Amino acid sequence: MIRNAYIFVPGVLSYPGAARNWTDRAVTWIHKRATCEVAEKFEYLALPATRNLLTARRAAELAALIDNYSIEQFSLVLAGHSYGCELIRLALQQSRRPANFVHLFAPAIPSEPRRHRLKAAVADGRIGFLSLYISTRDRVLAKSFIGGLSADAVSSQFADEHHTSIITGSGGHSRWFEAQNFEQSMRSIIGLATPAETTNGGTQ
């Protein structure tokens, strides 16, 4: 029997081992609801201004973690927030196996298609299904030294793409895993959220 394996990847300023991290809550949430499934977090410590110094090493470590899950035994689900999305993007370029589902929340990744190459990853099967979660008032990604996929960029680049969904929220950069939105985001990750729930910015 093929089991689901979830790997959660936080953004910067997520201190390893801190109980307040959304990744800790996500692992607990999965294990409480699906005891036969696997969930773990990829932890690291990075500051916004210096995050890129160890990006290559972190991505290689995440790729190695991904490769621990054989394609014959596991359906792989990756979920990242902010800079964690960049680590997922780079790790999938190195890993030996594809990801069945990839969820990128407020992705702090290059905005140009020729650089992020997400559509190519979906087209060649490295990503089975891609979900992009965008906040309309995300001021963090608007900062020049961080950057990322804005709501406008996602709409123009991915609106008609196969095996891709766009989920829009009305809050800020971290709204997806705030207490009032956490349950709905997790339901979307495991595929239980309805289309109305995942497209209505007021309910996410």
**Type and span of the H or E element at 189:** helix 179-189
pLDDT at 145: 55
Range of the domain at 176: 3-199
pLDDT at 156: 77
Residue 72 lies in a domain: yes
Residue 73 lies in a domain: yes
Residue 204 lies in a domain: no
Task: State how many domains the chain has.
Answer: 1
pLDDT at 80: 97
pLDDT at 195: 38
| CATH assignment of the domain containing 20 | 3.40.50.1820
Q: Are 98 and 71 in contact (CB under 8 A)?
A: yes
DSSP secondary structure letters along 133-183 = EEETT--STTSTTT----HHHHHHHHTT-TTEEEEEESS-TTGGGSHHHHH
pLDDT at 67: 97
Per-residue pLDDT tens for 147-178?
677 777 787 788 777 899 989 888 889 999 99
115: three-class secondary structure by DSSP: helix
Residue 124 lies in a domain: yes
The tokens 């990006």 sit on which residue?
Answer: 55
Q: Global pTM?
A: 0.89
Strands (E), the chain: 3-9, 38-41, 74-81, 99-105, 127-135, 164-169
Rounded CA-CA distance 63/97 in Å is 9
Nearest one of 203, 139, 143 to 167, comparing CA atoms? 203
The tokens 């953004």 sit on which residue?
Answer: 11
Q: What is the mean pLDDT of residues 85-92?
A: 96
pLDDT at 198 > cutoff 60:
no
Residue 123 lies in a domain: yes
Per-residue pLDDT tens for 25-49?
999 999 998 778 999 999 998 877 7
